[in-house]
Structure 1
Amino acid sequence: MITLNEKQQIILKYYREGKSQRSVQRETGIARDTIRKYIRQYDEKLRELNNLQDRDDVKKADIISDIVEAPKYHGGKKKEKL
């Protein structure tokens, strides 16, 4: 399971350090599909935040809260690998 700190590191390495998804994958050992998912989610929330009017403080707070939220996992039963 990925922690909030690991999710944050993915985003920071990609945006601040300018690393590729593949490079982030090599450094963290986290699957590239997962890295891609967190980057996509961050981009979507950032776009929402940038499109809001200044008076939408409550909505901004909700979006920021989504950005810094710990990763969610589905509680379904996984198939056993053979």
Structure 2
Amino acid sequence: MPRYRFFVSSQQDRVRYPRSFDLADADAAKDIALQIARVFTEVVPYWGDLSADQRNGFMIEIVDEADEVVLTIPLEVQDSKT
């Protein structure tokens, strides 16, 4: 199974999620990224105080074993579903 890494990114910074995952495919990695996004928006204390433009600057990047970005999930999209 391929190994995927996840990063929480903004226009100013990129932070690696502390755990990598061996997953069947990019769809499974997307499910993990959506979970990370949901938790991130719930635990960041000032998230609700940010403007929509500020929130749009945050995303989850899914990176494969070849260090290629497979998919980018905007946090604002995830946040608007809650």
Higher helix proportion, which one? Answer: 1
TM over 0.5: no
Larger Rg: 1
Query: Normalization by structure 1: what TM-score?
Result: 0.30
Instruction: Please identify which structure carries the higher strand content.
Output: 2
TM-score norm. by structure 2 comes to 0.30
